[in-house]
Amino acid sequence: MGYVAAGYLVTLGGLGAYSAWLVRRAKQLKHDRAR
Amino acid sequence: MTTPPTPAPAAGRASAVLGWASLVLVGATVGLGLVLPRTQEQAEYSRLIAVHPPAAWASYVAVGVAAVAAIGFLVTRRGGWDRVTIASLEVGAVFTAITLATGSIWGRPTWGVWWEWDARLTTEALLLAVLLGAVALRRSLAPGLGRGVITSVAALATVGLLPVVHFSVEWWRSQHQAGTLLAPDPATNADNPYIVAMLVGFVAFSVLFAWMVVQRVRIEALEEEADGIVLDRAIAERRAEASPARGVTA
């Protein structure tokens, strides 16, 4: 089961990390524009 | 190159709908994938079918969308197409990296190795290298028409790799299995629960891809706007510095 869990963790972790970066970067740019 | 568009409220709503739909569908994919029965051939490792092929599918979709957007930009020279091109290339790199990582994790217990210079693995790694190269090339260029054209050409060159990646398992001897859904021999087809989990994964990752592209396009527009503001300020400062000097010499 270790390999299966690792596969799902890598997938969700990778997609989650990139999604979080997208949201954070958009918020930062909007904040900078508002200043 | 172009004025960044202000996101319309409808676009914001569409993004929210795509985001929530992605969450629900990815959750369903994981739920379906983790409860798949063990198989005689691969024991529980077959459960990776719900994420590995859908990630590969999303990377194909990303490169395809980037190529269509590249043609759109080359024909119309509109900045919107350029933003979709680079957004799709970058999101495609993420999905390609996940495809390689999950494939490696699946290969270790079933093939006995983390990596093999096999036709499918090598061409997939080449695709990732080309996508990362295109994104890096884009970042090294100043905003403008030239950057858009070069990004578009890079996207069109990348899409030429897709048939090589996809048919690599048929063109060369490969350890990687051939297509699961459209296998020529029905005896090698997966059972229904596996196909359902994989198809839900295809839909989930496609919707997630769309959400990511929408977000990345918005970021690109905001960055272009910020670059323009910085440039305008720098030009104004240089003019202000130059004006007194001109006054002295005159």
Q: Model confidence over B175-208: pLDDT tens digits? A: 777 666 665 555 556 678 888 999 999 999 999 9
> CB-CB: which of B48, B55, B222 is closest to A4?
B48
Q: What is the mean pLDDT of residues A3-14?
A: 96
Ordered by start, the domain boundaries in chain B are 11-176+190-224
Residue A1 pLDDT level (bands cut at 50, 70, 90): low
Number of structural domains chain A divides into: 1
Q: Which residues pair with B39 in a beta bridge?
A: B43
- B90 Cα distance to chain centroid: 5
CB B73 within 8 A of CB B81: yes
CA B239 to chain A, closest CA, distance in angstroms equals 24
Q: Is the pLDDT of residue B250 over 50?
A: no
- Tokens found for residue B193: 């629960």
In this structure, which amino acid lies at residue B59? S
pLDDT value, residue B210: 97
Encode pLDDT of B96-149 as tens digits. Answer: 999 999 999 999 998 888 988 988 899 999 999 999 999 999 999 988 899 999
Which tens digit of pLDDT belongs to each residue from B47-104? 999 999 999 999 999 999 999 999 999 999 999 999 999 999 999 999 999 999 999 9
The C-alpha of B247 sits at a distance from chain A's nearest C-alpha, in angstroms, of 34
The pLDDT of residue B60 is 96
pTM of the model: 0.86
Is the model's pLDDT at B239 over the cut of 60?
A: yes
Q: CB-CB: which of B26, B94, B218 is closest to A26?
A: B218
In angstroms, what separates the C-alpha of B113 from chain A's closest C-alpha?
13
The predicted structure's pLDDT at residue B167: 86
Q: Does B51 touch chain A (CB under 8 A)?
A: yes
Which region among B9-13, B216-220, B236-240 has the lowest average model confidence (pLDDT)? B9-13
Out of B33-37, B155-159, B165-169, B171-175, pick the least confident: B171-175
Contacts of A23 in chain B (CB under 8 A): 215
Of the candidates B28, B93, B33, the one whose C-alpha atom is nearest the C-alpha of residue B63 is B93
Q: Domain limits at A4?
A: 1-35
B226–A29 CB contact, under 8 Å: yes
**DSSP line for A18-34:** HHHHHHHHHHHHHHHHH
pLDDT of residue B226: 84
Provide the token pair at B36.
Answer: 């798949």
